[in-house]
Amino acid sequence: MVEESDLKQWRDAGHVARRTLEGIKGEIVAGKAWDEVIDSAERFIRRHGGTPAFPVTISVNDIAAHYTSDHRLTAPDGWEGEMVFQKGDLVKLDVGVHVAGAIADNAMTIEVGNGGKHTEQIKAAKEARDASIEKMHPGTPWHEIGAAAEQVHKDAGFEPIRNLCGHELTRWNLHAGTSIPAHACGADNPGFKGGVELGSIYAVEPFNTTGKSGMVENIPPSNSSNIYRVTGNITIRKAMAKNKLKPIGATMARYIEERYHTLPFAERWAYPLLEKPFPGEEEEILRKKWNALVKKLISIRFLETYTALRCEDRGLVGQYEHTVWITEGGPEVLTVE
């Protein structure tokens, strides 16, 4: 529960997150590379007093979520052509900001070139988010929140994505346990017990699709998002005591934990840290060392990786998201300019 007296940093994070979306959306134009927009957004966050709470993600067309560029600019599996925006692309820009661990998470969907191909889908995603937020008063059951989003999507002729959810936020924790349905899950669904809690902070993010399945699937391989996170399940000291980490591995793990705590981080952020213990090493050798390090840190449960997601039947995906704080009078949207 977040008290009013503790809310300033959450509001500050929300302001920066929203300003980033508004400040960067104009850069999503035909001919611009995905990684240029990602880099620009992350620099915007830092320039305006925040820190990325997770790597800025760009998800185009049937890609639904969790893709950020790596340092080699590797395209998602199955993506044909360059990672450059084309007129008519449906682009999800998802931005998270933290201020001393207080997190704001927001997203919007943009049609490249504003040609009107996706106007109704974009409108439905935004209205579904707002319909869910309007219901978020203390005590409202979660199934009512999801039903509100689904109704908007169905009325507009789109399917809600059923296996992506909103999430509770706590300090330094992007996914704090409670999941928020974005479909009519039913009152007895065991995955969505209880309801909206006073003083809690939630990221509300219904997705829709032009496909029929209403489901997303993983894009291979398991680290296709290029995003990792320190789990907090094992300490570096304990790993060394059990001979699970060599000194160089422990040093790298410490570098990562000190910078990112338990918030998600990009491969391209952490990869250059290898240059400290291995100055002047060739790229191919550094790459092998990085892969071995990540494999080891995942195997001992120090790190986990995220998978990029796409619509199961390749439908085009839309998304809008706000972060809200629950007061006695209802939701206060924190991701506002």
Instruction: Mark 94-131 as b/e (b = at least 16 C-beta within 10 Å).
Output: bbbbbbebbbbbbbbbbbbeeeebbeebbebbbbbbbb
Q: How confident is the model at residue 315 (pLDDT cuts 50, 70, 90)?
A: very high
**Lowest mean pLDDT across 81-85, 91-95, 238-242:** 238-242
Residue 332 CA to residue 328 CA, distance in Å, equals 10
Residue 207 CA to residue 126 CA, distance in Å, equals 9
Amino acid code (one letter) for 144: E
Model confidence over 25-36: pLDDT tens digits?
999 999 999 999
Model confidence over 192-241: pLDDT tens digits?
999 999 999 999 999 999 999 999 999 999 999 999 999 999 999 999 98
Q: Which residues contact 219 (CB under 8 A, 6 or more apart)?
A: 63, 67, 76, 77, 78, 307, 308, 309, 310
Model confidence over 117-169: pLDDT tens digits?
999 999 999 999 999 999 999 999 999 999 999 999 999 999 999 999 999 99
Instruction: Mark 197-235 as b/e (b = at least 16 C-beta within 10 Å).
Output: eeebbbbbbbbbbbbebbbbeebeeebbbbbbbbeeebe
Ramachandran class of 208: left when φ > 0, alpha when ψ lies in -120 to 50, beta otherwise: beta
Contact indicator for 308, 76 with CB cutoff of 8 Å: yes
Is the pLDDT reported for residue 89 higher than 90? yes
Q: Averaged over 326-334, what is the pLDDT?
A: 97
Is the pLDDT reported for residue 5 higher than 80? no
State the DSSP code for 273. G
Is the pLDDT reported for residue 64 higher than 90? yes
Q: Averaged over 82-102, what is the pLDDT?
A: 97
Q: At what angle do helices 283-299 and 247-260 cross, to 10 degrees?
A: 80
| Residues with active-site annotation | 94, 105, 167, 175, 205, 321
Model confidence over 282-303: pLDDT tens digits?
999 999 999 999 999 999 999 9
Q: How confident is the model at residue 72 (pLDDT cuts 50, 70, 90)?
A: very high
Highest mean pLDDT among 52-56, 243-247, 273-277: 52-56
| pLDDT score for 275 | 85
| pLDDT score for 283 | 92
Q: Edge-to-edge strands of the sheet including 159-160?
A: 159-160, 207-209, 317-319
Is the pLDDT reported for residue 314 higher than 80? yes
For β-strands 322-327 and 201-204, DSSP reports them as antiparallel
| pLDDT score for 276 | 83
Q: Return mean pLDDT, the chain.
A: 96
4-224+308-333 shares its CATH topology with 227-305: no
Q: Averaged over 263-289, what is the pLDDT?
A: 92
Q: How confident is the model at residue 325 (pLDDT cuts 50, 70, 90)?
A: very high
List the one residue out of 271, 231, 243 whose CA is nearest residue 68: 271
Q: Averaged over 105-114, what is the pLDDT?
A: 97
Q: Which CATH superfamily is domain 4-224+308-333 in?
A: Creatinase/methionine aminopeptidase superfamily (3.90.230.10)
| pLDDT score for 15 | 98
- Assess if CATH 3.30.160 describes domain 227-305: no
> According to DSSP H, which parts of the chain are helical?
8-24, 34-47, 119-134, 142-155, 236-241, 247-260, 267-270, 283-299
User: Domain ranges in the chain?
Assistant: 4-224+308-333, 227-305
Instruction: Show the CA angle centred on residue 185, arms to residues 205 and 218, nearest 5°.
Output: 60
